[in-house]
Chains A and B, each alone.
Chain A
Amino acid sequence: MTGPSKVAVLGAGHAGPVIARLAVAAGYPVAIATSGDPEDIALITELVIPGARPRWAADAVADADIVVLAIPLHRFGAIDPGLLSGKLVVDAMNYWPASDGVLKAFEDGGSSEIVARRLAGSTVVKALNHIGYHELEDRARLAGAPDRRAAGVAGDDPAAVAAIADLLDRIGYDPVRLDSLRAGRLLQPGGPVFGAVLTLPEFERAVRQEAGSLI
């Protein structure tokens, strides 16, 4: 090991700062970036995400072991897949037409599967998308806390899933591994755990009940 994994969070809207704060609190070196000049988010970072470093997206990604995509899905098309090539990418985005409008490219199938097809050079897992940004921080608990909740991670690459399960555990959730991106559809809007903040047994039960529909 060469020290803890470095995390780059792309997006400084609602979800990005919350994820970045949780990662800082868990001891990760964290960079945060938008599509623009890091100077634009310097004040935000200093006051709202103390401990994180605002950077240009390309620099943040180049140095990162884990890249979290926390941008609106309709902006995903503006991301250069080459930028993320070779990286472990956490897709924290959602396709949520009721809230964000209809995107034709995402009308059919699991949104992370579609993201992964475009990011063919990256290893994509789905996580951090199904708990609301306004709750993600408030519900985080140390391991063993009686009221700790569960968070899912789905992906086709077992090592990547394991790495992000470890990250979820460190930021305050009992990780639940789903062994394919396709199974990550269970974490999407309309799925059994989306928007609900469940304990581990509740989460596993909810996922098990609906898993059959994906096979």
Chain B
Amino acid sequence: MTYTFGLDTFGDRNGDADGKPASHAQTIRNVAEEGVVAEQAGVDFFGIGEHHTDYFPMPAGDVVLAAIAARTEKIRLGSAVTVLSSDDPVRVFQRYSTLNAISRGRAEVILGRGSSIESFPLFGYDLADYEELFEEKATLFAELLKGTPVTWDGKTRAPLLNQDVVPHTESGPFPAWIGVGGSPRSVIRAARLGFSLMLAIIGGPPARFAAYSQLFERALDKFGRPPLPVGVHSPGHVAATDEQAKAEFWPRWRDIVALIAPERGFAIPTEASFDWETGPHGALYVGSPETVARKIATNLRALGATRFDLKYGLPGLTHDQLMTNVELYGQQVVPRVRELLG
């Protein structure tokens, strides 16, 4: 079995050692640096999630990925996620096929319907339409990936008639995933359209998603498609020891979840809930390299998944803390997980 290990960031705005926030611009430059160091540390994939807020100032991750591409050779580069519902699938395809050209075939996309929804009002979309927007746009994106002229008609953008969309890729479609947060119908859609499945697991016991992996496998079969990979995206933080990782992560986690809880319906975390989520059955991967590696291995097995992306960083963590996280993940966690999975 071939496993792939990635790091994802939302461009979480860095803090300095005194807690003072870094500028948006400095945070973006730091993300580029972290991507380069991720390759040096042996990480397989580096992903940037689209966000439009003061604490995640990362609306154009593909530009940052291009900067990383110019300084790296092997690491795969992609979105995590692209909020496709509020973007134009043609433009998303063009941006990532351009990234694919610059990086010599290392681009990927993870498409999301939008659990983080600040892009809807920003670009003039109605949240009430988010299901229809994503269904249509994901369908069009699947057509664009084929690389042949596209004919398409729908409600959410101008029609296309035998349209050649450039730039062409050199060696077929780049990998494309749909990120799923908890709706089984989204799992079926990924299978129907032929996207790989990325399970975003940010709370509760990861093992409960095992039914989703089975659902995906069965649905692919039902739609006459070959097997496709299942991946897991979850938040975490790696430091030298469990105690240090938790001490660095907890106050930032509490603050950011408290900030977004009213929009997303999350419970405000308590120290007890945090201990549970960072424990063996929870969804957070916070600890020493050994602790995090064991948890990743356990959950990849439980979920029948072959890809794990650690969403590292939180608003307020320092660039130095993130660099340590990136290095420990690539140099110690990933080899240890591979060893555990034999």
A residues with CB within 8 A of B: 12-14, 17, 41, 43-44, 47-48, 72, 74, 96, 98-101, 103, 132-135, 137-138, 189-190, 194-197
B128 touches A74 (CB 8 A): yes
Partner of B182, one of A14, A41, A47, A101: A14
Which 6 A-B pairs rank lowest in CB-CB distance, beginning with the nearest?
Answer: A101-B127, A74-B128, A44-B184, A98-B263, A47-B215, A101-B128
**A138–B128 Cα gap in the complex (Å)?**
28
Residue B214 is within 8 A (CB to CB) of chain A in the complex: yes
The interface residues of chain A lying within 8 Å CB-to-CB of B188 are 43-44
Main secondary structure of the interface of B (DSSP, over half): helix
B204 touches A134 (CB 8 A): yes
**A137–B204 Cα gap in the complex (Å)?**
9
B218 touches A47 (CB 8 A): yes
Partner of B267, one of A14, A135, A189: A135
Name which residue of chain A comes closest to B204, CB basis: A138
B residues with CB within 8 A of A: 117, 120, 126-128, 131, 181-185, 187-188, 203-205, 208, 211-212, 214-215, 218-219, 222, 261-268
Name which residue of chain B comes closest to A13, CB basis: B183
B126 touches A12 (CB 8 A): no
A137 touches B208 (CB 8 A): yes
Q: A14-B183, A134-B203 are in contact. List 18 more A-B contacts (CB 8 A).
A: A13-B183, A14-B181, A43-B222, A44-B187, A44-B215, A47-B215, A48-B184, A48-B211, A48-B215, A72-B131, A98-B263, A99-B117, A99-B127, A135-B267, A138-B204, A138-B208, A194-B265, A195-B261
**A91–B100 Cα gap in the complex (Å)?**
48
Shortest A178–chain B CB gap in Å is: 20
**A22–B188 Cα gap in the complex (Å)?**
22
With known contacts A43-B188, A74-B128, A135–B218 Cβ distance under 8 A: no
B266 touches A43 (CB 8 A): no
